[in-house]
Amino acid sequence: MSNKSLILVVEDEKDMAEHIKNTLVKTDRYEVLNAYDGEEGLAVFNENSRFFGFAKNRIKCIVLDLKMPKMNGLQFLKEIRNNEYCFTRLPVIILSAYEDQDKWLEVTSVVSGMVCHYLKKPFKKIELLSIIDRAVNYEMEYMIDETKKRLTEKMDELRGVEIVEI
């Protein structure tokens, strides 16, 4: 099992998707799954969903284009938010050429509760890496905090249990 963080890139422009993948893989910190439309992205996501917060896989972040065929980015986000095994705090980085502020407001209302960054196309490699690094680190910190919380709750439950010798 690799220590690299798994990133899902959902981008219909194959050249852009490959550019993102190559940029991330070259750092030797990430593995990347590419999907070329929202439906394919949803299928890849569902195949690699978390199981109650524990990694059935290791998806740490999603890089998502908004304007795609078959299922756009907003529809994709709504679908993954409905996935019972998806942490709502899974970082999503929105890629788009949209400059319309109203469109961005629509996006933020859909993804409320998710860590979301917006990266306007075209972007610089260093900008992409910086945002993904922050998002992945945030997600890891969140997972640690959630695990600590669950352990504390279980320990509190166990403190009230009497041990009876048979």
Per-residue pLDDT tens, the chain, 166 aa: give them: 468 889 999 999 999 999 999 999 999 999 999 999 999 999 998 887 655 455 555 788 899 998 888 888 888 888 887 765 555 567 888 887 766 656 666 666 655 655 577 788 888 999 999 999 988 887 677 777 888 888 888 888 888 767 677 7
Burial 143-166 (b: 16+ CB within 10 A, else e): beeeeeeeeeeeeeeeeeeeeeee
φ/ψ of residue 5, rounded to 5 = -80, 140
136: Cβ–Cβ under 8 A, 6 or more apart, which residues? Answer: 5, 7, 60, 61, 91
Could you give the C-alpha distances from 160 to 121, 122, 125, in angstroms and in order? 56, 57, 53
Q: Which CATH superfamily is domain 5-159 in?
A: Response regulator (3.40.50.2300)
Q: Which pTM does this prediction carry?
A: 0.76
Q: What is the Cα–Cα distance from 119 to 93, expressed in whole angstroms?
A: 7
